Structure formats: C-alpha cells, structure tokens
Structure 1
Amino acid sequence: MSSIIAIRPVTPYSADFERLREESQALGFNMLNRLSTHWLDGSNLFSAPGETLLGAFLGDALVGVCGLNRDPYDETPRAGRVRHLYVSHPVRGVGVGHVLLSSVTQHAREFFDYLNIRAPQTAFRFYQRAGFTPVEAHPQITHRLVFSTLSAA
C-alpha cells in the first residue's frame, strides 16, 4: 500500500471510531463494543501509567485500533496486556496490524516487563510472527511477549 500508516492516540469519540465499531460488530467481533462500553462507563480509559489507546490512520481514515493496559489477570505489577486490536477488513494484510502492535509494544517497554494477550485462534499466527509465545493452561492468556531485561553494562 502506498499510503503511510500514521499512529496516534484515539478515543471512542474519535472520527471514524463508530464506523469501525459497527464494521467489527457486523463481522462478529465484539471487542470494540466492549472498548466503547468500558470507556463510557469509566472502567477503562487507558489512563493508568503506561496505558494507551492508539489508532492507525490511512490519510484521515481510522482503519485500526489497539490498546494497552496493565494486565488485570496477572498479579505481576509490570505485566501489560494488549487489548482490542482490530483492523478494518478492507485493509487487512497490508501491515496496519503489525504497525499498531509494534507501536504498542515499543510504548510498553518502558512500563512493562512483558505483554499478555488473549487472542482468538485465528490470530495466533499473527502474534507468533510478532514474537509472542504460546502460554499454556491460563484461561485469560494465550500468548506472551517478554521484553529483554539485559542491558549494556
């Protein structure tokens, strides 16, 4: 795709978010409904230290969303969680998801030691190509990306 993918903060009030939410729902995905509901009721504003909600834009059009929270299902204080990653169907396969996930991952390194995700089986390959490894026997975590703790001395 010749257009440059721009990443910037978004909210459910952002232009095109409602269109993206309706598309996701029509395709059988509920994550943007949950994101919107939790934002509007105040239970998840992506506002704690290290948290963010990012959108991917092609021109002025919002074509993807990805959030980052502290993981409520992991007792480790520096455990992050990738949330609500969704890319508009017409632009899947052109790198939007990869750019969004890379942006969230880069942001997360300062605040978290690793990232968890609970992904549908259809997304396992996507996350594994991004460096996430499978997690066994945890009902809320399918994959984890551990950041290197090695530093130059």
Structure 2
Amino acid sequence: MKLSEGVEAAIHCATLLAQLEERRTMPASALAEYHGLSPSYLLKHLKTLAAAGILESVPGPHGGYRLALSPDAITLLDVVLAIEGPKPAFRCAEIRQRGPGALEPRAYTRPCGINAAMLRAEQAYRAELRKTRLSDVIANYQAGADPRALAFGCAFVERHQRP
C-alpha cells in the first residue's frame, strides 16, 4: 500500500501547528517553506484538513492555519482519512469471476478470500493509526531529535506565527 505524499505533508504540518501559542496561526506559505513544498500543493491539503475539522482556517491579514483540536484529540487515522478518503486501500474487483474458467455468479457464494485477508490487514493498519495521537508523534520526536532541529523548529514557529 502506498499513501500519497499529502499524508506525510499533512502530518508534518499538523505537528508544526501544534507548537503555536494559543489562538495564533501560521500562514500556508510558511508551512510550505518549512517543509520545502510547493505552496499551491500544500494549500490543497491544508484546505482538506480544515474541511475535516482537523485544522482551522483563519482569514485576514493575521490569518493562517491552526489546529482545530488538541493534539491529544487528533489521531494519525484522522489525518490519513482526511487526505486519502475513507475507502479501503484494496478494492476487490471480483476478477475470480472473469476469464475462461469463470462460473455463473451464483457459484461464488463465499466471499473472496483475498479480499477478506486484505480487509483484515486494513483493519489492523487503521487500528494502529487510530491508537497513535498527534501528541504521541510530537513527544517521540522531541525525545529523540537532534537539539539543533528542535531549536530551528522553535525559532521558525516563533518568527512565523501570527497573533
């Protein structure tokens, strides 16, 4: 399974926005700069996160984005579903019912075993993402990150947050 780069960008942006002081925002252009991404590409994902209720978009000269919820209330699954949508990664097309050896549809009374296995794997993957909160990701990063990276991130947030 391959998730889009938008998922990675969305999680990274959410972790950076979690560092803002209360009621402050950060412009999309600063988020794009920090992560080395195209502003137009990132803006699409930020709008999606805002529509999902993960981020809040604040208009005006001091506007930008901020978390709409506490980092404890946002799971990685919330972000993945906002960006990728709710459909499972594997979608069974019932190809077992095609080709020269295919039988009539009523011969396939049992669910496809491949589909069942893939759906079990999807459930396990989603359960793990559901357990992992944004605050967990931040705490793990802060515990093991190079102090220079932490200092740079803090200074960047301080310079770019808006009242």
TM interval, shorter chain, is under 0.3
Q: Which has the larger radius of gyration?
A: 2
- Where relative contact order (Cα < 8 A, 6+ residues apart) is larger, the structure is 2
Q: TM-score, normalised by structure 2?
A: 0.25
Q: 1 or 2, which has the higher strand percentage?
A: 1
Q: 1 or 2, which has the higher helix percentage?
A: 2
